[in-house]
Amino acid sequence: MPLKYFFVAWISLSLLMVFSEQIHGLGIIIDNPSNHHEELLNENRFDILPVTYVSDPDERGYIYGVNYHEYRSERKIIYRSSDFGETWEEVYHHRWEITSVYVWKNLVFFSDIKGQIFVSKDNGKNFEKVLQLDDGKYAVWWSWASNDDFLLIGEYGRKSNDAKVYKTKDGFHFQVFFDIRNHYNVTDKNCHIHKVSIDPYDSLVYVCVGDGLDYRGVYIYNLTSKQWKFRNVKNHPNVIVVSNGPLAATYPDRHRVFFYTDNFPVVLEYDKQKDEITIIAAWFGWYYSVGMKFYDAVKDPRTGIHYTVSVDYLDANAKYLWISLDGITWYRIDNRVINGSKILYPMHIAGNWLFMNNIRMKLLTREEAVRLIYNGGLNLPISTTLIEGRTVLLPVKNPKNITVVVIGKRLQNLIPNPENWIVRGGKSELRGKTLKVTSSEENVIIDILKTKKFNLKSGRWYTLGACIKANVSWKNRLSQAFISMWTENQEGAINITGSRIQVSNEWRCTYFTVYIPESSRFNRIRIYLPNESGTYWIKDVFLSSQMGSPIVNGKFLEGDTYSKDVKICIDNRTYYIGDLKPGAKYIIKLEILNGKFKLLSGGSVDLVVTKDRKDGFNLVLVEEAIENKKTSNNLMFILFITLTGALILLLKVHILLKRE
């Protein structure tokens, strides 16, 4: 049979190629060298340096570093360079180990292992002590953050029941900006400050705290409202532990922050508009088994390339440089200098160079990154899924005369109505969609059991989670809740995968990713409430195989719906599409495609990117939406054209089959 008979079948099949990586935040990890690897990453791109802890340049153009030595205790000498690392001169010798160097407002700072903070006004020649951190605490590269108005310094080092972040407006006088004791009564002697970061777009400060299970996460301060809020970060897929406070952050755009986690190989995305933290990339297999994690990350503001470096708990040579253009697809750089065995943190960008520990690498251009990550560009056709609020890059090899097909999706929250839940222990009351439970120091278990109507398919990824609130303050050491999925194998053995929720007198939510293997079957969803007396409220329980986020168009997804009020941004141009029922298509024709896609609203849509062949795939071509045009003006026209095209398509198939 001629190939053209398969056009309809081909396009239908391509629409089913929905990547779980995009929907549920598993990411695409590329650890096989591209065809351009040796050409772009040869030894001429790298230099070995005599220093580490490299800083920003000051107003005179000096960058600063500390003498590199295998033993950190011997890193005591500050050097400076006026040519971005070609040559170095010694300027200061300290008595104790230096743990970090930082430049702000033409002042040069450093911290030592004794927790002393020193500052220099004369380009590093002379230093004076300006701050003493608490006993055993000191500042490392992730402890510093600044803007034009102030400088922050976090207390890393020894774990204790206390940890602070200090603030100065002049570099000499400090006050406490953050104290964990104002948020949680720590008693496990396991607390210190991880990453401190100031949002370059909004009046927000992020203080990442480790390591105790009950309080670790991200504390967000709004400089305008002067209010703090706490957000616990998601667990690695299929792991029952809340991730530690992140150690690095980069900013892809004004609406999002990427956080790089400490105890799991995971990259998280904080959507500021949704106030939601979700996984966008996770490393499985060998990387997870050796305890890989990320110790630093930077973004090149000129090219948009994100760089991060990994380390591993088991010293299994998982120390690599990773690059990404969208936070979802990550490419491993592995060559003669970076071979998995050498520590690469900390990182810093200065001039045209990426500084990593005692290595200097010439920064990649965007074109070079595309050649490495996407092997020079993706072959058409491409089929993927867009998630509301998340930017995806799809650079194609031949970007001219492109057809973009946007397809509506069915969006479901599979969780049954709360009337069908089983509550064991306590006194329960259903108020609308919110379940209220009053407990008196007894175990309260909420089961959502498998039924004929509520059953999940094996071999699929799901996103599961809930929001919980209590009448007791979190600061009073309220225990965590736990939401889990139960599956059973053919022998009947139960496997439990879940996530903890830090419970407070404000709503706290967690949504995580779970996989049901082909060899297992779904058993139940179970929620455990804290074994402490109090009143608890549970709402927004979410379970979906089509959505990695419970928020669609700013509202929690309940029941069954589809892609509504779809707006998509392609290469910084917005297209207003309107409602797309499952399978409904909207075609956008482009003369050239740079490959930047972002779904602004609509929850989720499927996407096919192919060459413009003027109906070559029996798709009905609709004129592209015009920027700023109201959706309602085009709905009837689109519906008319779509129905007409469907009739023509059926007629063509009928005629072709008769000829056969």
pLDDT at 634 > cutoff 90: no
pLDDT at 651 > cutoff 60: no
- Cα angle for residues 273, 277, 280 (degrees, 5° grid): 110
Q: What percent of the chain has pLDDT over 90?
A: 66
SS3 of 16-81: the string is CCCCHHHHHCCCEEECCCCCCHHHHCCHHHEEECCEECCCCCCCCCCEEEEECCCCHHHCCEEEEE
Look up tokens 């060298």; give the residue.
33
Measured CA distances, 364 to 250, 302, 352, 596 (Å): 17, 10, 9, 19
Which residues have a Cβ under 8 Å from the Cβ of 382 and sit 6 or more positions away? 394, 396, 607, 608, 609, 610
Helix H or strand E encompassing 460: strand 460-470
pLDDT tens digits for 19-47? 455 677 788 899 988 889 989 998 889 99
Distance CA(194)–CA(293), nearest Å, equals 14
Residue 641: pLDDT band (50, 70, 90) is very low
pLDDT at 656: 53
Q: What is the mean pLDDT of the chain?
A: 87
pLDDT at 303: 97
Distance CA(216)–CA(652), nearest Å, equals 62
Provide the 10 A C-beta neighbour count for residue 95: 8
pLDDT at 637: 39
pLDDT at 14: 34
Distance CA(538)–CA(421), nearest Å, equals 12
Measured CA distances, 440 to 481, 504, 530 (Å): 15, 17, 10
Measured CA distances, 205 to 179, 229, 255, 318 (Å): 14, 11, 14, 31
Task: Evaluate whether 563 touches 409 at the Cβ level (below 8 Å).
Answer: yes
400-421 CB burial, b ≥16 within 10 A, e <16: eebbbbbbbbebbbbbbebeeb
Report the residue count for the chain. Answer: 660
pLDDT at 549: 84
Closest-CA residue to 390 (of 486, 279, 298): 279
pLDDT at 8: 32
pLDDT at 455 > cutoff 80: yes
Distance CA(217)–CA(586), nearest Å, equals 41
Provide the 10 A C-beta neighbour count for residue 638: 22
Which residues have a Cβ under 8 Å from the Cβ of 651 and sit 6 or more positions away? none
Question: Rounded mean pLDDT of 434-463?
Answer: 91
pLDDT tens digits for 329-357? 999 998 878 989 999 999 999 999 999 99
Distance CA(416)–CA(449), nearest Å, equals 9
Sequence-ordered strand ranges (E) for 581-620:
585-592, 596-601, 604-611
pLDDT tens digits for 54-111? 999 999 999 999 999 999 999 999 999 999 999 999 999 999 999 999 999 999 999 9
pLDDT tens digits for 281-301? 999 889 988 999 999 999 999
pLDDT at 477: 67
pLDDT at 15 > cutoff 80: no
The ranges assigned to domains in the chain are 3-22+379-409+566-659, 35-50+246-375, 414-546
DSSP letter for each residue of 401-455? EEEEEEEE-EEE--PPPGGG-EEESSEEEEETTEEEEEESSS--EEEEE--SSS-
Give SS3 for 559: coil
pLDDT tens digits for 472-497? 887 766 778 899 999 998 888 888 88
pLDDT at 63: 97
pLDDT tens digits for 411-427? 999 999 898 899 999 99
pLDDT at 522 > cutoff 50: yes
Question: Rounded mean pLDDT of 156-166?
Answer: 97
pLDDT at 443 > cutoff 80: yes
Distance CA(331)–CA(319), nearest Å, equals 13
pLDDT tens digits for 253-276? 999 999 999 988 999 999 998 888
Task: Evaluate whether 653 touches 8 at the Cβ level (below 8 Å).
Answer: yes
**Helix and strand counts by DSSP (H, E) for the chain:** 6, 52
Residue 613: pLDDT band (50, 70, 90) is low
Residue 639: pLDDT band (50, 70, 90) is very low
Q: What's the Rg (C-alpha) of the chain?
A: 27
Span of 199-208, 545-554, 574-583, 611-620 with lowest mean pLDDT:
611-620
601 token code pair: 């609203």
Distance CA(636)–CA(625), nearest Å, equals 13
Query: Using the 8-state DSSP alphabet, how is residue 500 labeled?
Result: E
How do beta strands 128-132 and 144-146 pair?
unpaired
Residues 414-546, CATH architecture: Sandwich (2.60)
pLDDT at 5 > cutoff 80: no
pLDDT tens digits for 367-387? 999 999 999 899 899 888 999
pLDDT at 628: 33
Distance CA(311)–CA(319), nearest Å, equals 5
Q: Which residues pair with 604 in a beta bridge?
A: 387
Distance CA(164)–CA(154), nearest Å, equals 6
Task: Evaluate whether 531 touches 442 at the Cβ level (below 8 Å).
Answer: yes
Query: How far from the centroid of its chain's Cα atoms is residue 335's Cα?
Result: 27
Question: Rounded mean pLDDT of 525-547?
Answer: 92
pLDDT at 2 > cutoff 60: no
Question: Rounded mean pLDDT of 541-557?
Answer: 89
Distance CA(238)–CA(235), nearest Å, equals 8
pLDDT at 287: 92
pLDDT at 132: 98
